[in-house]
Amino acid sequence: MSQSTERSETARRKPSQQELAALVVQHRAFLAKRNGGMRASFKFLDLSHVDFSGLDLTDADFTGAKLFGARLNGASLSRAILYAADLRLANLTGSVLTRADLRGACMRGAILSEAELVEADLRDGTLMQVGDSGMMSAVNQEIVKVTTELTCATVRSADLSRARVSGAFMMQTDLTDAVLRGAKFVRANLSNSDLTGCDLTGSDLTECNLDGACLTGAVLTGAVLSSTRLAGAVMVGAILDPSQRAAAAAQGAQLASRPEDAGMSLPEVLAAHALWTETGGKEGARADLAAFDLGGADLVGAKLAAALMNSATLAGARLSGASLAMAELSLADLRKADLSGADLRGASLERATLSGADLTGAKLFPVHIQSGSGHTWRSNLYRARLDGTRLAGADLRGANLVEANLQGADLTGADLTDADLTNADLTGAELRRARLDGAKMPS
C-alpha cells in the first residue's frame, strides 16, 4: 500500500453540520478578536465533500484532515495548517494559501487554478496516525517521510512565488501560466507536467525531474538548472540564459533550431510567402516559422502577414515596418525586438514575451474581414509580457490586453480606445496623453 493510500484510509470522525457551523462561527470571532472566539481545529476530521467556499479560514488547523472532494474555492487559507491533509480532487480555485503549511499533503487531482500559494510550504512531511487518545504519533513508532503530492492536479495561473516545493511529486500536473518566481523545486518530480508560459524566474530546479515536461514560452531567466533532468523536455520558445540553453541541450531537451539547420532558406521562405499573400494562396506557400530560432534576424519591412510564427525565438530581431497583420506569434520570444512602425493588426501575441521591445508607432488595431459579416479581428495580447516595452504612439484600439504585464511600459500618446485591460498590470506605466475612451481598465 502506498503512503498516500495509507494516509487517506486513516480513520477519521465525520462531524455534524451543526458542529462545523459552530467551529466556523467561533473561528470568525477569533479572527475578529471578539469574546468567545476560538481558532478552528479540524484535526483528523472527515470533511469529505464539505463546502467551505469563500470562507475565511485563515490560521485554521486541518492537520491530517480528510478533505476529499471538498469545495474550498475562493476560501482564505493563509497560514492554515494542512499538514498531511487529504485534498484529493478538492476544488481550491482562487483560494488564498499564502504561507500555508501543506507539507505531506495529498492533492492528487485537485484544482488550484488561480490560487495564491505565495511562500507556501509543500516540502516533505511525516506520516502520522491518530492514537486512542486522539493524539498524533508516528506510524508503527517509526518516522515515515511522506511527499507532498500534486500529481495530475490543475494549477493553471496559480501564484507559487517563493513556495518551497522541494521533493514534491507533481507529475503530469497542469501548471500552465503559473507564477513560480523564486520557488524551490530541489529534487521535485515534475516529469511530463505542462509548464507552458510559466514564470520560473530565479527558481531553484537543482536535481529537479523535468523529463518530458512542456516548457514552451516559460521564463527561466536566472533559474538554477544544476543536475536538472530535462530528457525530452520541450523548451522551444522558452526564455533561457545562454548557459541554461547549453545545459538544456546537454540534458536532451528539445530546443528551437535555426531554419538553415532544417534545410530551409529564410529568403526563399519569405519570397514564397509574399507570393502566397499576393495570389490569395493560389501560388507560393504560407510561411511556417513556428518554433524556429530567428533571434537577431534582419526582417525589416518583411511581408509576413498571416505567417505562422508561434513559439518562435525572435529576441533582438529587426522587424521595423514589417507587415505582420493577423500573424500567429503566440508564446513567441520577442524580447528587445524592434517592431517600431510594424503592422500587427489582428495579430495574435497571446502570452508572447515582448519585454524591452520597441513597438513605437506600431499598428495593433482590428482587421476588418472582407466578407458580408462585417466581422473584425482584433489584436490579441492576452497575458503578453510587455514590461519595459516602448509603445509610444502605438495604435491599440480594441486590443485584448487582459492580464497583460505592462509594468514600466511607455504608452505615451498611445491610442487605447475600447482596449480591454482587465486585470492588466500597469505599475509604473507611462500613460501621458494616452487615449482611454471606452477602455476597460484594471480594477
Burial class (CB in 10 A: 0-12, 13-18, 19+), 137: exposed
pLDDT reading at 6 higher than 60: no
The pLDDT, as a whole number, for residue 443 is 85
In a domain, residue 352? The reply is yes
Grid cell listed for 55: 470562507
DSSP tag of 151: T
In a domain, residue 53? The reply is no
Q: How far apart are CA 306 and CA 298, in angstroms?
A: 19
pLDDT band at 8 (very low <50, low <70, confident <90, very high): very low
**pLDDT 10s digits, 195-233:** 999 999 999 999 999 999 999 999 999 999 999 999 999
275-283 contacts, C-beta under 8 A, 24 or more apart = 277/303, 277/305, 277/306
The pLDDT, as a whole number, for residue 127 is 54
**pLDDT 10s digits, 230-276:** 999 999 989 998 889 998 998 999 999 999 998 999 999 999 999 99
In a domain, residue 292? The reply is yes
In a domain, residue 201? The reply is no
**pLDDT 10s digits, 348-399:** 999 999 999 999 999 999 998 765 556 789 999 999 999 999 999 999 999 9
Q: How far apart are CA 223 and CA 225, in angstroms?
A: 6
pLDDT reading at 313 higher than 60: yes
The pLDDT, as a whole number, for residue 373 is 59
State the Cα angle at 178 between 176 and 181, rounded to 5°: 140
pTM listed for this prediction: 0.87
pLDDT reading at 1 higher than 50: no
In a domain, residue 29? The reply is no
In a domain, residue 372? The reply is yes
Identify the residue whose cell numbers are 527561466: 220
Q: How far is CA 352 from CA 139, 168, 176, 386, in A?
A: 49, 29, 14, 9
The pLDDT, as a whole number, for residue 145 is 65
Number of domains in the chain: 1
In a domain, residue 333? The reply is yes
**pLDDT 10s digits, 30-64:** 999 999 899 999 999 999 999 999 999 999 999 99
For residues 3 and 154, the model is more confident at: 154
**pLDDT 10s digits, 113-165:** 999 999 999 998 765 554 444 444 444 444 556 789 999 999 999 999 999 99
Burial class (CB in 10 A: 0-12, 13-18, 19+), 13: exposed
The pLDDT, as a whole number, for residue 194 is 98
Grid cell listed for 132: 486512542
pLDDT band at 7 (very low <50, low <70, confident <90, very high): very low
Mean pLDDT of 336-340: 98
Residue 362 sits in which domain range? 262-443
- One-character DSSP codes across 19-49: HHHHHHHHHHHHHTT-TT----B-TTBB-TT
Residue 250 φ then ψ, to 5°: -65, -30
In a domain, residue 99? The reply is no
pLDDT band at 10 (very low <50, low <70, confident <90, very high): low
The pLDDT, as a whole number, for residue 141 is 42
Terminal CA-CA length for the chain: 50
pLDDT reading at 68 higher than 50: yes
CB 67 within 8 A of CB 50: yes
Q: How far apart are CA 113 and CA 139, in angstroms?
A: 33
The pLDDT, as a whole number, for residue 216 is 94
The contacts of residue 280 (CB under 8 Å, 6+ apart) are none
Grid cell listed for 110: 485537485
Amino acid letter, 407: Q
Average pLDDT over all residues of the chain: 92
**CATH number of the domain residue 354 falls in:** 2.160.20.80
Q: How far apart are CA 85 and CA 177, in angstroms?
A: 26
The pLDDT, as a whole number, for residue 374 is 64
